[in-house]
Homo-oligomer: A and B are copies of this chain.
Amino acid sequence: MGTDTRNRILAAAARLFHERGFEATGVATILREVGVNSGSLYHFFPSKEALLVGVLERHLESLHSTILEPAAGATDDPIERVFALLGLYRRGLVITDFTRGCLIGNLALEVGDGRPHVRALIEASFSVWAEGVRSWLDAAGDRLPADLDRGALSRFVLTVMEGAVMQARAAGSLEPFDASVAQLRSYMELLAAQARLGRGEAPAMPAGRETVEPSDEAPPPGRSAWRSW
C-alpha cells in the first residue's frame, strides 16, 4: 500500500535527520534503510526538502500525543508536569546515548534562512510546545505570581530545555542538563515563594538549593521506546 511506504519513508527520514542532520543524510541512505527505490520516494516527495517538510509536519501533528500528553500523564501537579516534560528529554538523551537530542532544535540551527517554509514549521513546533507548557502554568493558578508573564516563562522553559540538551550532548553527560534543570526549579520555587508572599502567607523563602538529584536510571512508568522528538 502506498501510504505505508510513504510512512516508512517518513519514519526513516525522521530518524536519520534527527541523528545525522539534514545535510549529512543522503537520499540513498534513506532508500537503503527503507528498502525502496528512488522512484518511490520521489513519487511521494518531489524533493529532499519536501521530505523534510513532511517530516516536520508529521512531527508537529504528533507533538501532543508523543510528548505533551505523556508528560501531563506523569503527574497531576501542573508545575511538576513541566519537569516531567524535561525528564522525557533527559531519558531520551540516555536512551540514545546522547546521539540525537531534540529534532526541532537540531534543525533550527542547521537550516538557516532560505527554506522559509521549513523555518515556519520549526517555529510552529516551538510554539505548540511552549503553548503546552503555558497551559500547565495557567493551571498552577495563584501558586505563581499574579503578574507573572506565563507566556514568557513557558518560552523560557523551552529555552532551558534546548540549551540544556545542547550542552549535555556536547559533554556526553547528563551533568549540565541536570544542573540547568535544577536552576530552573530553583527559579520556579522562588517565584512560588514570591506568590505566597503576594498572598500574605508565610513569608518563608524556600530552603537553600539542595540540588535534588533526579533518580538516575529506572525511570518512572511508561518505558516507551524512544521516539522522534
Residues on A lying within 8 angstroms of B by beta carbon are 19-21, 23-24, 97-101, 105-106, 108-110, 112-113, 119, 122-123, 126, 145, 147-149, 151-153, 155-156, 158-164, 166-167, 169-172, 176, 179-180, 182-184, 186-187, 190-191, 194, 197, 203, 205, 208-209, 211
Output the least CB separation between A181 and chain B (Å): 9
A194 touches B183 (CB 8 A): no
Closest chain B residue to A112, Cβ basis: B99
User: Can you list 5 A-B contacts (CB < 8 A)?
Assistant: A21-B23, A119-B172, A162-B167, A163-B163, A190-B194
Please, how many angstroms separate the alpha-carbon atoms of A148 and B19 in the complex?
Answer: 36
Closest chain B residue to A147, Cβ basis: B208
Set of chain B residues within 8 Å of A149, measured between Cβ atoms = 179, 209, 211
A122 touches B176 (CB 8 A): no
Within the oligomer, what is the number of copies of this chain? 2
Set of chain B residues within 8 Å of A123, measured between Cβ atoms = 170-171
Closest chain B residue to A18, Cβ basis: B112
A155 touches B170 (CB 8 A): no
Please, how many angstroms separate the alpha-carbon atoms of A10 and B114 in the complex?
Answer: 25
Closest chain B residue to A175, Cβ basis: B155
A159 touches B167 (CB 8 A): yes
Closest chain B residue to A100, Cβ basis: B112
Query: Per a CB cutoff under 8 Å, which of B21, B119, B152 touches A170?
Result: B119
Set of chain B residues within 8 Å of A159, measured between Cβ atoms = 159-160, 163-164, 166-167, 176, 180, 183
A105 touches B156 (CB 8 A): no
A170 touches B122 (CB 8 A): yes
Closest chain B residue to A172, Cβ basis: B119
A113 touches B101 (CB 8 A): no
Given contacts A106-B109, A153-B183, A190-B191, A167 and B126 within 8 Å (CB-CB)? yes
B183 touches A152 (CB 8 A): yes
Set of chain B residues within 8 Å of A100, measured between Cβ atoms = 112
Set of chain B residues within 8 Å of A180, measured between Cβ atoms = 152, 155-156, 159
Output the least CB separation between A35 and chain B (Å): 24
